[in-house]
Structure 1
């Protein structure tokens, strides 16, 4: 019994000690949770990309694709209608002005006549034959009259010498004899005219099969030149740029045959947006890139054409474009691999400064109505507004608000704020 009473007296003390331990555990757990919350909510440094403001050359350019073309090009066309022989010259073959035969043209075969036209032509030929016979008969009659008049004049002249006839009679007979000779000459001309008219009528009846053909139509015409062939010579020294017609055939007058020019005399034509072209001036320097060579070529704007034109872009947008003509400044040897209609990329320099304080445009953003950047200072991002000068699509000139060597945040995040902790990406 005494032991039971002692045990019962110890029960309240035991539960007292349990309550104290429980209270300490709750306080310890709350402290741990608070520490974890502080660690989770403690602001961390944001990883950012940094760029440095530097002093160097800054160019403002108008960038566009361009195409090379021969400055002086000539189109060789058929000077008359006829049958062109096969053109053996290939693109790239050299030609010499006034010496190289670029094409040979021969008279074309006659056009076949329909039934009515042939009947009319045959009737015209028969009429010409009749006219020739009549002219010949008239010539014979005139010759007889002239002979008779000359004989009579000879007899009267003998009588005049003896004084048997009057002088007036003699002069009248002399005039008659001269008129008879003139009639004979006129009849001769009439005969010649009738013969030519008959020949013309016969020519209209020439059939196509009657025209002589080449012995080997598929062979080269290099040594087969008829006396009737019309030779077409190269207009300038250079090379054949394009051969527009190769095979033999009938062509009309003015048909385009070849295009020739001096491939060393190249220029570049680039079509700019009209809004960009207004900022370009004649004489602006040009950098020529992406042409296939290892180095950048130099050029200069020679002319901005006064008239624009409408062009549909690849996205289907209507654009007003203006052609800008650019001359090469490098020697021919530096660009001898380029030819006619080659693609290049041109950068027309409209503004440049050799010692501009510049930074990447990817660090800029708008703060109200001003340009601003985040400058990295002692591990924190500091908002700073800037005064900018000219800029291109990669860099901008800083006139006020930044010093050389200061670092700025590239492509700042939307949630980056002034004073936020930052660190370079990768550290």
Structure 2
């Protein structure tokens, strides 16, 4: 009896030792492979901007009056005067330029005096030739002179008349030259400009976006003055990597977030066909394509969204309902293939699978799994082929 007790005790101790060193099941968290709706999208920063921004520039060189409009002020097409440009004051003359101008004016005055003297001389000649022509006409009637002598007298009279007309025209030219020489010596009025001669009218209805040249100043032709646009006609422009842009199709759904307000529904309007080289923040040379989005949500939801605002655009690339899906947390690489651990009969079984589309949560299963399979989420290095596992209680 004593031996039996010792034997039983020994067997019990050995059983306890074996049980203590036996591998325990690994506690794992599992998820079921089941049909899901998968949507693949790309997210990138973008910029909201008005489709048509009109930059009003000076059409003539002159003195711009101070702009009374400010950013945000409404304007009406073909009615609101946004700027006025008048003639600028003449430049001040230095001592050399003034001396030249004074000499030119003195010469112009002398030329006027000479022209007046020529007019007086031409008038006297015409008066004499007129009297000679009248005398020759009277003598011809009395047959005292020949017809040729009468013709010569009339010709000399007409020549004297043409000389007088030429002298008077020359006097007018010299007087205008004198006026021009006097104008070169003028410094203009104290304000530097005369009455305003040109008004710039708003080409479209909308609001002033930016006043580029506000203060009163002399401007040249083409100087930008202000920008006008319609805040209700907004679009979003997103720069996508060229490898992502090839999957974006016009009409694709999108969502605008990250601007400080509620999400805004949008739609892809067009994809630029040309990629532009840009340097990323990490110094990487990238090729990016501009994607233009149209806002399709309620305009009341994005009234506060303005020109130049930074936004986050999420563009849908692919979407399908009822596809067999596996959580991405259950996936890992097995060589060049995708694999996962499936729980069968309380043990982990390695399965190589074929994937299709995937997003940050789920991946499409094309082959290797069936609906209802339990896969291990986030498998650790304790998980291996055929190891016993215990499901985590939820």
Q: TM-score, normalised by structure 1?
A: 0.81
Alignment of 1:70-89 (within 5 A): 70-89=50-69
Contact 1:300 1:328 in 2 (8 A): no
Contact 2:264 2:295 in 1 (8 A): no
CA distance in 2, matches of 1:281, 1:170: 100
Query: Deviations for 1:20-73, whole angstroms, at most 9, x for unmatched residues?
Result: 99xx999969965x5664454333333333333332332222321111111111
Match of 1:420 among 368, 375, 387: 387
SS in 1 for 2:70: coil
CA distance in 2, matches of 1:166, 1:248: 79
Say if 1:370 and 1:307 are closer, same or farther in 2 by CA, change over 3 A.
closer
Match of 1:149 among 105, 129, 134: 129
- Aligned twin of 1:265: 233
Query: Deviations for 1:240-283, whole angstroms, at most 9, x for unmatched residues?
Result: 11111222222222211101122222222111122323333444
Say if 1:307 and 1:317 are closer, same or farther in 2 by CA, change over 3 A.
closer
- Aligned twin of 2:330: 363
- Aligned twin of 1:211: 189
Alignment of 1:6-405 (within 5 A): 32=13, 37-207=17-187, 210-213=188-191, 227-311=195-279, 313-330=280-297, 332-405=299-372
SS in 2 for 1:183: helix
Q: 1:193 Cα deviation (Å)?
A: 1.8
SS in 1 for 2:29: strand
Query: Deviations for 1:80-106, whole angstroms, at most 9, x for unmatched residues?
Result: 222221111111112223321111122
Contact 1:364 1:372 in 2 (8 A): yes
Say if 1:138 and 1:30 are closer, same or farther in 2 by CA, change over 3 A.
farther
> What is the RMSD computed on CA atoms of the aligned residues?
3.0
Query: Deviations for 1:298-319, whole angstroms, at most 9, x for unmatched residues?
Result: 21141314141222x2233332
CA distance in 1, matches of 2:299, 2:141: 96
CA distance in 1, matches of 2:158, 2:303: 81
Contact 1:285 1:301 in 2 (8 A): no
Q: 1:334 Cα deviation (Å)?
A: 4.6
Say if 1:198 and 1:227 are closer, same or farther in 2 by CA, change over 3 A.
same
Q: 1:206 Cα deviation (Å)?
A: 2.1
CA distance in 2, matches of 1:425, 1:148: 135
CA distance in 2, matches of 1:303, 1:132: 73
Say if 1:239 and 1:197 are closer, same or farther in 2 by CA, change over 3 A.
same
CA distance in 1, matches of 2:35, 2:238: 32
- Aligned twin of 1:8: none
Say if 1:147 and 1:380 are closer, same or farther in 2 by CA, change over 3 A.
farther
Gaps of 5+ in 2: none
Farther off after superposition, 161-170 or 413-422 = 161-170
Contact 1:309 1:321 in 2 (8 A): yes
Contact 1:274 1:308 in 2 (8 A): no
Q: 1:162 Cα deviation (Å)?
A: 4.6
Farther off after superposition, 159-168 or 227-236 = 159-168
Say if 1:56 and 1:292 are closer, same or farther in 2 by CA, change over 3 A.
farther
Contact 1:282 1:304 in 2 (8 A): no
Q: TM-score, normalised by structure 2?
A: 0.87
Contact 2:277 2:285 in 1 (8 A): no
Say if 1:82 and 1:419 are closer, same or farther in 2 by CA, change over 3 A.
same
